[in-house]
Amino acid sequence: MFRILIALSLGGAGSIRAADQSDHFSDNGYGKTVSNMQHPAAEHFNGVTYVAYQGPHEDPYVAAYTHATGTWAGPVRAGVNPLGLSPDQVDPGALDNHGRPALVVDAQGHIHLIFGGHGGSPLCGENKFGTPGSGRQIHVVTQKPGDISSWEVLDNVSPFGTYGQWVKLANNDIYLFYRHGAHRSDWVYQKSTDHARSFAPTVSVLKHKVSEAGPAIHDSWYAWFENGRGDTITASYVYHPCLDPAHNAHRQNTYFMLMDTRDASWTNVQGQKVSMPVTKESADRHTLILATGTEKSNHGTCHIDREGHPHLFFRFPGGTVRYFRWDGKAWQKPTTVEDANGFGHDGDFIIDSPLKVRMLLSQAANGTGSVGWWNTTDGGRTWARGESLFSLPGHTFETSALVRNGPPEARMLVGGIKDQQSHLYHNMYLIGDHGAIGRPTAETNHLGDRLEAIKAMPPSNAKAEAKRRKKAGLGD
């Protein structure tokens, strides 16, 4: 196994008057800092919440909050993202953002990240499950349990990856799900039974191929994988009719299926076996929840209640979030979670009981960004806006998935975006039931003089760069 050692130093933590506390823990989030697609971005383990996000140069940064002492360590850079062009771009179109890190803590306490890939460049070799893209999927791990100060690269997963997603089972097996290449590629997983020190060969789950609708369309997917109940793993996904050779942004339909990890078999919501890998035709026949037609749908998250029934949300145009639930006999009619003053954009949710669900969403309304609860007590037929956990005027927020095993004071990792700012750096927040976990202001500055250097850069040409990226097929 090939290993590269990376030595890094920690930022200190101190005790300062509450008046000198900031609500963010770092100022060096960069671009689209987090997403619930690359997940989890944070995990609580042995009294510490570890968080990972995209920082300067699109590199992965990790910080750690110790709950008993109320102190932060880091952030530290855990690796180098090959997608990063320069540390201080001011043009959002110049950032790739697909190499954001996902984090998992193994049973021995080592922290693992997966990051850096937008499908893997042709320099990585032959992609047997799709088309190459850019960057390289990289796996790093801490040299010592619980210590984020030093990291090493483990060359034990495919370089052809993007949208890395960790699933850890109760028996400590770890699954890594990802899209094996650029847009026209399979979704796959690799399994580890030794704390992610080695992985079994790649297994295809969702099949890409030329569409039966015609040679100019390629069947592709966007998927989200997560723990189910017991030894199961859920898959919720949408269909992407990708134009070939040019990429397009349309996505449609909503789907669900379930894996039994004891024998690696997959079933639909009715318990019927589904052959692997799933094609567009078999997905429509066996795992379809809702056919959306020309209306665009996008991934959300999925969880299973104590009766074994899935609850999901997907995102739709206008920033709306629609909730789906299997009631044991049929898919309940989806409902939109919103209010008259703004829309739910993205987030995650907690199932308290089959009928009681709390959805934690970012909101943007009346010039103020917030992250707060939406609640249902009737299985999603009606929703009521609950408590706002954190808000700032003149901001919007990007949200991670829920912190894995997170305590109430650490629910979600959030990147704040200030309106009309002239750079791409953002404050990072760890949000819980009592708001954002603060940090002494003197410890939150990790940009140094970067913002002064940015002022000397030429103005951006975002439209030209976005056009270039679209032509090159470097979209989502």
Distance CA 188, CA 158 (A): 10
Minimal CA–CA distance to 60: which of 124, 133, 112? Answer: 112
Chain centroid offset of residue 206 CA: 19
DSSP-derived letter for residue 70 is T
**Spatial separation of the C-alpha atoms in residues 147 and 152, rounded to whole Å:** 12
Given a contact cutoff of 8 angstroms between Cβ atoms, the answer to whether 149 and 132 are in contact is no
Residues marked as catalytic: 98, 163
Q: Structure tokens of 432?
A: 């819980």
* 456: nearest Cα among 423, 417, 421, 418: 423
What is the Cα–Cα distance from 397 to 409, expressed in whole angstroms? 18
Alpha carbons 301 and 313: distance in angstroms, whole number:
6
| Exposure string over 238-260, b if 16+ CB within 10 A, otherwise e | bbbbbbbeebeeebbbbbbbbbe
The amino acid at 83? L
CB 292 within 8 Å of CB 254: yes
Q: Classify residue 54 by its DSSP letter.
A: E
Neighbours of 281 (CB within 10 A): 13
Q: 340: which residues sit within 8 A by CB, 6+ positions away? A: none
> Phi, psi at residue 140, to the nearest 5°?
-125, 160
